[in-house]
Amino acid sequence: MTTEQPPEHPPAPETAAPTCYRHPGRETYVRCTRCDRPICPDCMREAAVGHQCVECVAAGRKSVRQPRTALGARAARRSAPVVTYTLIGLCVLAYLAEIASDRVVDDFAMIGLVRDRAGLPVPGIGVAEGEWYRLFTSMFLHQPPTGGPFGITHILFNMWALWAVGPQLEQVLGRWRFLALYLLSGLGGSVLLYLVAPGTAAVGASGAIFGLFGAFFVIGRKLGIPSGPILFVVGLNLVITFGAGSAISWQAHIGGLVVGLVLAAVFAYAPAKSRQAVQIAGVAAMTVLLAALVAVKTVQLV
């Protein structure tokens, strides 16, 4: 009697261990909880449940909505006021250049038109003669140490004011809005001086600083911050402005203040649904208005 042997079964094939999708040479049994791809320890990122791969973590961050301030700027907890510090640095560098050369103030101060003794325009000098850059460069210059009644205190006060209010405004406005506010406020001061007293030479960041003061007031009202302290600062500076006579250009201060108030109102009260578009349109409209005023005045002068 023969005994039947059970049929032999072939051995089961060995299953290859999974490898990391980013590092094929590394075996791993851990998978991304989001895309289910195998990941090695170098590619693991802790998640609420399990681990995720680096690509899924990056995609998840992009889908998270960036928090913003009440005026539309990105809410950054520890963002350095880069624009404020850069503006201060530019003013300090310009001041050092003034000390090194007397021609810096002559070549870059705000002056609309220079006339000779016969009342004729001096060719090539002034905004009306094509030196439009003076409208901007003058806001980075200040009285040299021996160049006027205020001397070095001129730049010291302006830089202290910029350091005091600049970082707060830059944080709530964001960098591009804050920079636009500063430059257009300074330009507004130069334009008003050009319209009212084109033959008067002036230097200083005071127009831009007054614009920041005005913006601080408007934005403070919007956010419910007490406005008494900033009103006191503005009022005191206006008293000094008009009490100093011709030593201080009241046109630059008032022009900067008005532009700062208007731009801050646009930034603060733009409707939420179209906030950025309205804010950009407000900056563009102010730029066009100031440029048009300069053009009209130039035609009258030349």
Residues carrying an active site annotation: 206, 253
User: Please, are residues 226 and 274 in contact by the beta-carbon 8 Å criterion?
Assistant: no
CA 286 from chain center: how many Å? 16
Task: Please provide the DSSP assignment of the chain as one string.
Answer: -PPPPPPPPPPPPPPPPPB-SS-TTSB---B-TTT--B--GGG-EE-SSSEE-HHHHHHHHHHSPPPB-TTS-B--TT---HHHHHHHHHHHHHHHHHHH-THHHHHHSB-S--B-TTSPBPTT-SGGGT-TTHHHHGGG----TTSSSSTTHHHHHHHHHHHHHHHHHHHHH-HHHHHHHHHHHHHHHHHHHHHH-TT--B--SHHHHHHHHHHHHHHHHHHT---HHHHHHHHHHHHHHHHSGGGS-HHHHHHHHHHHHHHHHHHHHS-GGGHHHHHHHHHHHHHHHHHHHHHHHHHHH-
Chain-centre distance for alpha carbon 139: 16
Distance separating alpha carbons of residues 252 and 248, to the nearest angstrom? 9
CA-atom Rg of the chain in angstroms: 31
